[in-house]
Amino acid sequence: MSKSERLLAACGVSSLLLGGLGYLFFRPSHSVWFVPDWLVLGQARGLPELFYNLPALIHVFVFSLLSLAFIGLSKVKIWGVSSLWFLVNLGFELGQTLNDEALMNFPDVLRRYFLYGTFDPNDIVFAVVGAGLAISLSLFLRGKYD
């Protein structure tokens, strides 16, 4: 693993941990379906509305960095992996627009996520920013250390 790949992995893990703490301390328990109520430590109070879109940015950013840390940093991989994670996030966002009938054949965990989630176009914008940040950081580190 090269120095730039190690730095990407460290940045990805650190961002993932910070994002997880954000869920625990700032998100209301009913909005964090994968975390038990007893584990959520705080409630959002007085936070700017766009704060709720940060998970879309963090998901794309973190998973792009972690993937690239393990598969390498060619320009094609950087653009491809970051675009792929954006598309995954876009799919989850668009899935929240589906009705009950359209979701009948989805696995239960996805169906619940889509049914109880709320489509927000700002999440798509934040996912684009997350991909852009991952691409920028990866290209920077690739040029600096490789």
Number of Cα atoms under 13 Å in the Cβ half of residue 136: 7
User: Tokens 């798509």 identify what position?
Assistant: 124
Q: Residue 41 — pLDDT band, cuts 50, 70, 90?
A: low
**Mean model confidence pLDDT for the chain:** 87
pLDDT band at 89, cuts 50/70/90?
very high
The two tokens of residue 44 are 């959002």
41-50, 95-104, 108-117: least confidently modelled range: 41-50
For 44-68, how does the pLDDT look when each residue is reduced to its tens digit (9 = 90+)?
566 677 777 888 999 999 999 999 9
Quote the number of domains for the chain. 1
Instruction: Give the range of the structural domain holding residue 94, as residue numbers without chain letter.
Output: 3-145
Q: Is a pLDDT exceeding 90 seen at residue 125?
A: yes
Task: Determine the distance from the C-alpha atom of residue 83 to the mean position of all C-alpha atoms in its chain, rounded to a whole number.
Answer: 12
Burial class, 33, CB count within 10 angstroms (exposed 0-12 / middle 13-18 / buried 19+): exposed
Q: What is the pTM of this model?
A: 0.86
The pLDDT value recorded for residue 45 is 61
